[in-house]
Amino acid sequence: MILNSSKLNNLESYDFYGADMVRDNSFLELGYHVFQLRAKMSEAVGKEYSLSAVEVEILAFLDKFSEEDTTATEIERHRNIKKNTISVHVENLVQRGLVTRRELCGDRRKIGLALTDDAREIVDNYRRECDLLGKKLCEGLSEGESETVKHCFCIVNDNAMAILKG
């Protein structure tokens, strides 16, 4: 079990807010649907630039974490893409001049990845599509409700990360 059941004292017998969202898979379904939408969006952006959806996701990840020393391992961990798949796509991105590689901390085994200026248009297009998707997902919500949802998801995400860390 991922949770310490002795601390929770037979959680199954309690009814509390949030439990039903986990039991009826609302979180899983929402996550799955958003994942599908992002995949379609990545595919559409990729088509414009003759890139695969995975390559667009790699570019987006490198853009998001541009201030850090980003490696294939980090992409694998956060995007759930197998390392050998990342290697093939990164090689294509390097050949096209969209990504550069560099040694990190003088260790030839650790290779950092970074976007080039040529990738900027693609990443900006991806960001615009993300913004549009976010607006469409929040249609019907007031600005305040939208901010509340965002705030709640941040808290739930932080809680999930804390549970995973143990």
Q: Closest Cα to residue 162, out of 1, 3, 46?
A: 3
Residue 85's pLDDT is: 92
Q: Please, what are the averages of pLDDT over each run of 10 residues along the chain (166 residues)?
A: 50 56 75 91 96 95 83 85 91 96 77 92 95 92 92 89 86
Residue 19's pLDDT is: 65
Residue 104's pLDDT is: 78
**Residue 2 within any structural domain of the chain:** no
Q: Closest Cα to residue 82, out of 114, 58, 62, 47?
A: 58
Residue 119 DSSP one-character state:
G
**Residue 123 within any structural domain of the chain:** yes
**Residue 71 within any structural domain of the chain:** yes
**Residue 117 within any structural domain of the chain:** yes
One-letter amino acid for residue 26 of the chain: S
**Residue 26 within any structural domain of the chain:** no
Q: How far is CA 1 from CA 6, 9, 25, 155, 164, in A?
A: 11, 14, 18, 22, 11
d(CA 81, CA 88): 11
**Residue 23 within any structural domain of the chain:** no
Looking up residue 82, the CATH number of its domain turns out to be 1.10.10.10
Residue 161's pLDDT is: 87
Whole-model pTM: value is: 0.79
What range does the domain containing 72 cover?
A: 54-132
Tokens standing for residue 50: 């003759």
**Residue 150 within any structural domain of the chain:** no
Q: Which residues of 79-117 are buried (b: 16+ CB within 10 A; e: fewer)?
A: eebeeeebeebbebbeeeebbeeeeeeeeeeebbbbbee
d(CA 52, CA 58): 10
**Residue 31 within any structural domain of the chain:** no
What total of structural domains would you count in the chain? 1
Residue 4's pLDDT is: 53
Residue 160's pLDDT is: 86
Residue 70's pLDDT is: 86
